Structure 1
Amino acid sequence: MDTKSPHRYSLAIVSRGDADARRNTTPQNSRFVRVFEALAAAGIDAQPAIYDESFAEAVREQLLGVDGVLVWVDPIHQGKTRAELDALLRDVAARGPWVSAHPDVILKMGVKEVLYRTRHLGWGADTHRYDSAAAFRAEFPPRLQAAGPRVLKQNRGNGGQGVWKVEALANAVPTVRVLHALRGSLPEDVPLEAFLARCEPYFGWGGCIIDQPFQPRLPDGMIRCYMSGAKVAGFGHQLIKALIPPPAEGPDAPEAQPGPRVMHGPDAPQFQALRRSMEEEWTPQMMELLSINEASLPVIWDADFLFGPRNADGADTYVLCEINASSCFAIPDQAPAAIARTVSERLVGAKR
């Protein structure tokens, strides 16, 4: 009789922090405590792996000692990017441990360029990409004049960094009214030439700028569709204030603050049309277009939608404004169990 016990998988959850956080963070005091609990219930030994560039080699050795790695690190954090971390994760994945989300998958689906590459899917809009400062200077001004208010997005960012609403003003000198999506921002009227120069650094880190039409139903809120692999794990609805001018009292006034994100499970009736579109149409189409197989989809990611114009039947339509695959958190109550299920499937598959 074979008395060997089944293999118990080990996992590290990577997030940013300093040396004190690396010493003191445990599964019990981590912000991912519910994820740790769900993984433990699934028979997976999970440990925190606090990362910073200053002790990257210690993190590398830790990750090489586990079966799998989950990563929750923003593209930009206090001036730091993921450039060094992504190189580390590629090296770790090449040596054996399974990594989610893999940096190469993030570069396909977790950047703003995905809005351009998938613009012909049912979630798309009149989206354009500028690959250089010269192209941006030549193509954006006439488009702005002809098409009305636009939203510009740097390719890699988070928290509203590098996202601008831009409106042309009727001035003798070409002038635009711009509003940064970063919290606390105020509208500015600036010469068009000065704004174009302000955006040039985005071509360095991100490589391009993405241009979409401003969605008039923005005040109706944003729907965040949380995915675990190819299946919906829940929804969040939030009345956001980014790109909406603050009241006269200023950006710190209570009326200028975003509402709470109201979480819902995957079976929430008001979002079933969106769920069917995500699971049956848009995600499979995106995977085919971007050459991503299901086993490579992030264990947790989200697609952020704004309400588009209502269709002929009066039903809502949805316009994709972002995919988050680098650091998707907070998450619905149902998501940790979905994460644990997907992790178990991926680790078994990787072992095979």
Structure 2
Amino acid sequence: MAPARSAGDGHPVLRAVRGLPGRIPDPAGRRPRVLKQNRGNGGIGVWKVEADGAGGVRVLEARGGAVARVMPLADFMAERLVAFEPGGGLVDQPFQARLLDGMIRCYMSGGQVVGFGHQMVRALAPAEAGPAGPRLYSGPDDPRFQRLRAMMERDWTPGLARRLDIEPDDLPVIWDADFLLGPKSTAGEDSYVLCEINVSAVFPIPDEAPDALAATTLKRLASHRRKRAPAS
């Protein structure tokens, strides 16, 4: 089965285990791959996979305390069969070399950025990188992230709504999107690579966000009342 395209970021979603040999190791032979289950938390169900140089693969799960394993690709494929049950699949992404530069979480209310969280993540990093740092929260006007904010509000989120065939007002009152830093452009600007989207486990949130969430909720309630009001 040919890989489908995941919403918004262009990474393939493998829908059948037989698609793995064509993706693992990296067909371009340049860098490790990261495979993710459709759902998970705490790094569970996220694997960094790379060729070991002897015909097998080296596999490291992102959950805390995981130890890298070297195994035949066929064994790794057998372990992943459960991920391809109906409704499942694995998102396939290239490993991001700038992982140690941190992850940026965009807190969203509908299509509006309402805050940020920046964290020095260490999942899938070598042990010598040390422990992860706390997530540091800031409001939507944080000057470090205004380019990302503009991309989220003007391009990525409207594109997500179109791809899912929903109205922007159908997006959750509170959700977030995590980004890693990709390669810099020739002008020295950062690029951003979507890591994951969270809807059911978003809190805690920045102190600046609750007022915006309340405003979104009130706006939607008012819109709902207008739609239900009898015609005069």
Fold-level match, TM-score > 0.5? yes
**Taking structure 1 as reference, are residues 348 and 237 closer, same or farther at Cα in structure 2, changes over 3 Å only?**
same
> How many angstroms does 1:114 deviate by?
9.8
CA drift of 1:141 comes to: 3.3
Q: Aligned residue for 1:216?
A: 97
Residue equivalent to 2:72: 191
- 1:91-130 equivalences under 5 Å are 116-120=6-10, 127-130=11-14
Residues 155-176 of structure 1, C-alpha deviation per residue, up to 9 Å, x if partnerless? 12222111111110111xx211
Give 2:218's match in structure 1, choosing from 344, 349, 352.
344
Shift, 1:262, TM fit: 0.7
1:131 aligned to which of 8, 15, 39: 15
Structure 1 consecutive aligned stretches of length 4 or more whose deviation exceeds 4 Å: none
Q: CA deviation at 1:295?
A: 1.6
Partner secondary structure for residue 29 of structure 2: helix
Q: Deviations over 1:25-69 (max 9, x none)?
A: xxxxxxxxxxxxxxxxxxxxxxxxxxxxxxxxxxxxxxxxxxxxx
Q: 2:56 matched to 1:168?
A: no
Q: Aligned in 2, Cα 1:272/1:223: closer, same or farther, shift over 3 Å? A: same
Distance in 2 between residues matched to 1:144 and 1:169, nearest whole Å: 14
Identity across aligned pairs (percent)? Answer: 50
The residue identity in structure 2 corresponding to 1:181 is A
- 5+ residue gaps, structure 2: 227-232
For the pair 1:230 / 2:114, whether they are aligned, the reply is no
Q: 1:142 to 1:265 in 2, by over 3 A?
A: closer
Q: Distance in 2 between matches of 1:279 and 1:226?
A: 11
Letter paired with 1:324:
N
Measured in 1, the distance between the counterparts of 2:144 and 2:4 equals 26
* Structure-1-length-normalised TM-score: 0.60
Structure 2 counterpart of 1:259, one-letter code: G
Residue matched to 2:229: none
User: What amino acid maps onto 1:157 in structure 2?
Assistant: G
Task: Say how many residue pairs are matched.
Answer: 224
Q: CA deviation at 1:245?
A: 2.2
1:159 aligned partner, one-letter code:
G
Q: Which residue, 132, 149, 173 being the options, matches 1:299? A: 173
Partner of 1:327: 201
Aligned counterparts of 2:126 and 2:133: Cα–Cα separation in 1: 15
**Residue segments in structure 1 that go unaligned for 5+ positions in a row:** 1-112, 121-126, 248-254
Structure 2 match to 1:158: 41
Which entry has the higher C-alpha Rg, 1 or 2?
A: 1
TM-score, scaled to structure 2: 0.89
Is contact 1:152–1:163 with CA below 8 Å preserved after alignment?
Answer: yes
Q: What is the identity, as a one-letter code, of the residue corresponding to 2:50?
A: E
Instruction: Compute the displacement of 1:178 (Å).
Output: 1.1
Whole-Å separation in 1 of the counterparts to 2:19 and 2:63: 25
Distance 2:17 2:158 in 1: 33
In 2, distance between residues paired with 1:302 and 1:163? 19
How far apart, in 2, do the equivalents of 1:114 and 1:322 lie? 17
- CA drift at 1:139: 2.3
Q: Deviations over 1:110-142 (max 9, x none)?
A: xxx99723235xxxxxx2221112233x42336
* Residue 212 (structure 1) shift: 0.5
Where 1:201 maps in the other structure, the secondary structure is: helix
Spell out, residue by residue over 1:181-205, the C-alpha distance to the aligned partner (whole angstroms, 9 max, x if none).
1111122212221111111111127
In 2, are the aligned partners of 1:154 and 1:163 still within 8 Å (CA)? yes
The Cα of 1:351 is off from its aligned counterpart by: 2.7
Residue in 2 that maps onto 1:181: 62
> What do you get for the CA RMSD once the two structures are aligned?
2.0
Cα pair 1:145 1:168 within 8 Å, conserved: no
Q: Distance in 2 between matches of 1:215 and 1:142?
A: 15
